Amino acid sequence: MNILTRKEDDVIVYVAKTTETVINGILVDNDMVFGNADQYNVFEDVTVPEGVEQQAYKYTSTGGFAKNADYVPYVSPEEKVKQLETDLINSKLAMAELAEQQEADKLNNQLALAEVIESIMGGGTAA
């Protein structure tokens, strides 16, 4: 396989079966042209390990493959909305549980205070 990386950061931008430098850039797989050929490195006849993905990995001839620490996977807007809805529901449930616990704690504190006041006032102790 041939690997196309950005010169500025070695991030893999395309893994191709074929690459060819043409007048307006780098032709990959006889299908797409990356313009500004001087911004890319092309590595030919590279064995690409399973799991290596464009953008998620970097490649250099001396260092080989390395995970791109700056890579953030794409999440579609629909998936983001679903995740936010789930997060909101979970937050509401957590807040409801906290409110219930707060009310239970308040009641326990009131009962404890009543017992303290009763013991101070001498209530419940008949001689």
Q: What angle do CA 100, 103, 97 make, to 5 degrees?
A: 15
pLDDT of residue 125: 53
What's the pTM value of the predicted model, to 2 decimals? 0.61
Rounded CA separation 6/28 (Å): 14
pLDDT of residue 124: 55
Beta-bridged to residue 40, according to DSSP, are: 6
pLDDT tens digits, the chain, 127 residues: what are they? 999 999 999 999 999 999 999 999 999 999 999 999 999 999 999 999 999 999 999 999 899 999 999 999 889 999 999 999 999 999 999 999 999 999 999 999 999 998 998 888 876 555 5
